[in-house]
Amino acid sequence: MSGRIAVYPPENALNAPAIPDTHAAPPQGDAALVAVDRVVEELRRGRLVAVTAGQGKDASWRLVLALETATLEPVQWLLSRNAMVAVTGERAAALGACEAKDVLLALPDGVEAERVLALGQCWNAAGWRQVLGKAVEAGIPGDQPVVAAVQLAKFAQLLPALLVSPVFRGALPANVLAVTAPQVQRHALPVDADLLQVSEAAVPLKGDIASRLVLFRDRRDAAEHVAVVVGKVDAAQPVPVRVHSSCFTGDLLGSLRCDCGEQLHTAIQRLDAAGGGVLLYLAQEGRGIGLANKLRAYQLQDDGLDTVDANRHLGFSADERDYGIAAAMLRSLGVVRIRLLSNSPHKVSALRERGIDVVSIETLPGTPNEHNERYLRTKRERAGHL
């Protein structure tokens, strides 16, 4: 070794011709997806973001902070700017407020930042009403930036409750990332080009079932979804298809609280018996609310709510899933006419709306037990499952 100390930049680079600075931004893909992706990560890390309905120097903005991941300092900062709490209509109804798409709830004058911060970890309605007082009876319908902000929290799989400053005009703080409502809407409506087919391999399954796994990646959020192609698929005929949302507790651990794992294995056996078919395994845990929120919903169910009301109590609809990516996966596989293995009429209508011809539905009955009997009954009586 020469013992010379390496320097940066290299000495010979000092005399290299300069690269012209054209001030042009490098290509980064769809600007809406980039903006939303960055803002979602900021919310997950407890940072403020800005949301507007439009663009330009006269655009009206709202500063937004997710209560679940917030820390004390930004809460104090927003409270000094007359912040309000944004929640979904479902959450507002649980609090006894007027139900709307999304609403703003006023905070009492002089409320302590610590009490507001605690709202992000408390989903008992009585606890919220104790902090908010009469404000829950006078919810203000949210404007377009508020609706977009609530949607961002759902993209982040955070509880959809946010601290929001009043509308203001002028320059944004330099350290705050911003997004527009139209960009949020673009992210919420996937197109086929958002789906990338990444890799595939033959994976024989238990019971000597031949299958091929095809992995897809969603460009919007880098979520990965898998198509399990069982046997030989004849796309000239209606293809047996199961659209299955991931369930960590049921699929992996064999939880007795749901019928997901049983449906997963029964579906694969049905596809094999039919000679071939496709199972789509979608990264949509907890009907689209994520594992953390699903466990919160379980706790609420233990406290007496059923599965539908538990989701709504947290601020979600009964089912937050979207099947645009599922339809895109099927088209990528050349499958457009299907026999759907499902108990959910909602899946039928959702896939048909996205261009998939569902010619029939075949049910997958679950086996009742003392832990899931109420859950199965609720799905039948309140969610319309077969």
Question: Does the pLDDT of residue 208 top 50, yes or no?
Answer: yes
Band (pLDDT 50/70/90 cuts) for residue 381 is low
Q: CA angle at residue 266 from 246 to 322, to 5 degrees?
A: 30
Strand partners, 237: none
Is 382 designated active site?
A: no
- Of residues 258 and 154, which shows the higher confidence score? 154
Q: pLDDT over 90 for what percent of the chain? A: 61
Q: pLDDT over 70 for what percent of the chain? A: 87
> Two tokens at 293?
């929120």
Within 8 A by CB and 6+ apart from 188, the residues are 151, 155, 322
Predicted local confidence at residue 1, as pLDDT: 46
User: Rounded mean pLDDT of the chain?
Assistant: 87
Question: Does the pLDDT of residue 168 top 70, yes or no?
Answer: no
Find, among 86, 219, 230, 236, the residue nearest to 154 by Cα.
86
Is 319 designated active site?
A: yes
Band (pLDDT 50/70/90 cuts) for residue 16 is low
Write b or e for each residue in 347-384: b if 16 or more Cβ atoms lie within 10 A of its Cβ, otherwise e.
Answer: bbebbeebebebeebbebebeeeeebeebbebbeeebe
- Structure letter (DSSP) for residue 127: H
CATH of 192-284+321-381, one of 3.40.718.10, 2.30.110.10, 3.30.470.20, 3.40.50.10990: 3.40.50.10990
Band (pLDDT 50/70/90 cuts) for residue 330 is very high
- Of residues 279 and 317, which shows the higher confidence score? 279
The structural domains of the chain, with segments of one domain joined by +, span: 31-187, 192-284+321-381
pTM greater than 0.85 (yes/no): yes
Q: Could you give the C-alpha distances from 370 to 77, 234, 300, 301, 377, in angstroms and in order?
A: 49, 41, 18, 14, 12
Band (pLDDT 50/70/90 cuts) for residue 36 is very high
Judge: domain 31-187, CATH 3.90.870.10. yes
Average pLDDT over residues 364-375: 77
Question: Does the pLDDT of residue 232 top 80, yes or no?
Answer: yes
Band (pLDDT 50/70/90 cuts) for residue 352 is very high
Question: Does the pLDDT of residue 6 top 60, yes or no?
Answer: no
Band (pLDDT 50/70/90 cuts) for residue 22 is low
- Of residues 103 and 240, which shows the higher confidence score? 240
Amino acid, res. 256: L
- Of residues 9 and 178, which shows the higher confidence score? 178
For the stretch 248-276, pLDDT in tens is 999 999 999 888 899 999 999 999 999 99
3-state helix, strand, coil in the chain (%, to 5): 40, 20, 40
Average pLDDT over residues 96-109: 82
Cβ atoms 326, 244 nearer than 8 A: no
Question: Active site residue: 287, 321, 339, 354, which one?
Answer: 321
> Two tokens at 267?
């579906």
Question: Active site residue: 218, 257, 319, 339, which one?
Answer: 319
Average pLDDT over residues 206-231: 96
Question: Does the pLDDT of residue 316 top 60, yes or no?
Answer: yes
Question: Does the pLDDT of residue 346 top 60, yes or no?
Answer: yes
